Structure 1
C-alpha cells in the first residue's frame, strides 16, 4: 500500500518521472548533430539510456573483388561514425542499432523493443527563407509513434527553460501539457491558445466582441488547467495567453518577442490539431516555427 509520504516524495521528485530510455533517430548528417547534442543533454540530465538508431539504405550487393579493393562494411562505418560523434558522452549508457531497413519502420520497431519513452530526431533540411522541412521519415514517426517525439531544430544551449504548450483545450493538447510537465520539471511552462472571432467584420463593435471572446478563452484556459490533475500535482504556476488570429502567425510572432526553447502540442485534438494524423496547420507549425517541437499523442483506449 502506498503511504502519504510515498505519494509526497513521488510528487516532489520529478526526476523519477523522467524517461529511462531515449531513442535518437539519426541519418548521420550534419542536420542530425543538433538532435544528437540535445539527446545527449537529456540523457545526462535524466540518467537515461540512449538508444541510437541509424537505418542503412544502400544496397548490400556482393562484390567479387580482392579484399583490398572491397568497400568497407557500411554497417561498421556507421557504428564508427556514431561512436566518434558520442566521444564526449563516454559516461552514458549507449546502445547503437544499425540495420538495413526502412528508416521509420526500424525506429518504431526499435523504440518498442527497448521500451523507449521519448524519440528524438532532427529536421530533414532547411531551405532559404527559414522554411524547415521535416522529411517523410519524421512525419511517419509523428503519426505513428506511441511515445512523444522531440524534433530538434536549434543548436542546444542548455536545458529547456521556456516552454509553450499550444492548446485547443482538447485531450490531445492536455496530453502535450502533461508530457511537458513530466519531462521538464525545471522549465517555465505556459499555455497558448489562439481563437477566431466569427463574423468580426460584420459586427458594429468588433473590439468589444474580441474582448468578450478573449475573456471567454481566458476562462476556458483556467478551466482546462483545473481539469488537468498533473498541474496541481506539479505545484507549478502555468501562465496562460489567449490571442485572436491564426495560430501559425501568432506563435511565430511570439517567438520573436520571447526566448522560447520549445513548443509542445498534441496530435489529436479539435480545430488546428484535429484528426488522427497530423493536420495541415499542425504540419505548418512543425515545418515553419524555428524552434524545437515536442509532439505527444494521446494514449489510445
Structure 2
C-alpha cells in the first residue's frame, strides 16, 4: 500500500457521487438456529433507533422438500407452520416498542436467491444475518449465501456476532480510499449515528528492505521518510474523504504492517462493537478491501461486521 502518489485522484468524483444510506427498511435473515435471538435483538434495536421497518425472513431451503408431490406438500406445510410459530415466539420475547416495527416472512427457495429477491422486493436498505454454522446443510446465512448476496445485491450486509444488546458506540472503518470503502464508511455512519469512528488506513512496508540492508542502505531512515510522505498524502486524502459535519466523531489512524492483523489490533484496542469494510479494493493502488479479506473477517469476525460494495 506504499504507492500513494495517485491517492488524491478521484476524490472530487467520490464527493460528487456520494452515496446516501437511509436505513429505513431492514431485512434480517433468520435461520432459526443457535444465535438467531442475537440477530433478531440487534435488528429490532436498530429498527427502533433508526425508525425503520424490520422484515424478519426465514427461508426454507427447497432442497429439503424434494419428495413425491403429495408428500412434498405435506412436508412443506409442516415446515412453514413450524417456522411461523418459531418466528412468532422469538418476536413475542421482544419489548413491545420493538415488536411494532416487525413484519415476519417465511418463504421457500434457495437461500441466497430468495433473500436477494425479497430484499429487492421490499426495497431493503440493509441485510442483517448471523455468523456461520459449522454443519454444511445449515450453511444458509454466511459462506456461499452472504458471499452471493454481497456479489449480487447493492445494499450492505451486517453480520451479527453476538456483540450484545447495547447500541454501537465505537466502530472501526478500514479504508483504502476506494469507492467501495467510501460506501462502507457512509453505511457505517448511517447505521451507527451516535458512534465514535476510527478510520484506519494500513500501509505495508516495502518488500525491498532486506535487499536494501545488503546494499548498505539505511532502511530505517528510508522507512521514516516513506512513512512521513505517506502520512501527509493520506491525511490530505482523508480531508476530502470525510464530510465536514462528520469530522467531530471521526479520528484517523495510519498504521503499518500486515493488513488483517493491523485492522484486528485496532478493533481490539478500541473495543469496537462494529467493523466496517468495503468489498472491493482500489485497483492498482491497494488490495486492502478485496472480497477475500472481507470474507476472511466474516469467517471469524472479531465483532459485528458491516460490508458494503
Shared fold by TM > 0.5? yes
CA distance, structure 2, for counterparts of residue 232 and residue 259 of structure 1? 26
Query: Which runs of 5 or more residues in structure 2 are unaligned?
Result: 1-19, 136-140
Relative distance call for 1:154 and 1:27 in structure 2 (3 A) is same
The equivalent of 1:23 in structure 2 is 27
Q: Separation in 2 of the partners of 1:235 and 1:258?
A: 18
Indicate if the aligned counterparts of 1:38 and 1:152 stay in contact, CA closer than 8 A. yes
2:83 aligned residue (78, 81, 88): 78
Equivalent pair of 1:252/1:289 in contact (CA under 8 Å):
no
| 1:1-45, Cα deviation, whole Å (9 max, x unpaired) | xxxxxxxxxxxxxxx964111000111111332222111110111
Distance 1:256 1:234, change over 3 A: closer
Aligned to 2:280: 268
Between 91-100 and 38-47, report the one with greater CA deviation.
91-100
Give TM-score, length-normalised by structure 1.
0.81
Q: Which residue of 2 aligns with 1:241?
A: 253
Pairwise CA distance, 1:233: 3.2
Match of 2:65, SS state, is coil
Q: CA deviation at 1:177?
A: 1.4
Aligned: 1:186 with 2:194: yes
> Contact conserved, 1:31 with 1:124, CA < 8 A, in 2?
no
3-state DSSP of counterpart to 1:236: helix
Alpha-carbon deviation of 1:145? Answer: 1.7
- Which deviations, in whole Å up to 9, do the C-alpha atoms of 1:218-258 show, x marking residues without a partner? 22332232223x62133524211111111111122233322
Secondary structure in structure 2 of the residue aligned to 1:56:
strand
Q: TM-score, normalised to structure 2's length?
A: 0.79
Counterpart in the other structure of 1:94: 102
For residue 65 of structure 2, what is the aligned residue in structure 1?
59
Look up the match of 1:40.
44
Aligned to 2:304: 292
- Seen in structure 2, the aligned counterparts of structure 1 residues 72 and 281 have a Cα distance that, compared at 3 Å, is closer
What is the CA distance between 1:98 and its match in structure 2?
1.0
CA distance 1:126–1:75, shift in 2 (3 Å): closer
Aligned in 2, Cα 1:85/1:245: closer, same or farther, shift over 3 Å?
same
1:191-212 deviations in whole A, cap 9, x for unaligned?
1111112212233322223223
In terms of mean alpha carbon deviation, does 204-213 or 171-180 score higher?
Answer: 204-213
- Distance, in Å, in 1 between the alignment partners of 2:134 and 2:246 is 37
Q: 1:283 to 1:210 in 2, by over 3 A?
A: farther
2:236 corresponds to which of 187, 203, 223: 223
Q: How many residues align?
A: 269
Secondary structure at the aligned position of 2:159 is classed as strand
Contact 1:273-1:282 within 8 A present in 2 as well: no
Counterpart-to-counterpart distance in 1, 2:110 and 2:77: 21
Retained in 1: the 8 A contact 2:278–2:289?
A: no
Asked whether the equivalents of residues 175 and 289 of structure 2 are also in contact (C-alpha less than 8 Å), the reply is: no
Q: Give the Cα separation in 2 of the matches to 1:22 and 1:116.
A: 5
Q: Which stretches of structure 1, 4 residues or longer, exceed 3 Å deviation after superposition?
A: 60-64
- Cα 1:213–1:169 shift into 2, 3 Å: farther
**Matched residues in 1 for 2:298 and 2:53: separation?**
27
Query: Is residue 2:143 matched to residue 1:135?
Result: yes
Task: Indicate the residue corresponding to 2:5 in structure 1.
Answer: none
Judging changes above 3 Å, is the alpha-carbon distance between structure 1 residues 217 and 178 closer, same or farther for their aligned structure 2 residues? Answer: farther
Greater RCO structure (CA 8 Å; 6+ sep): 2
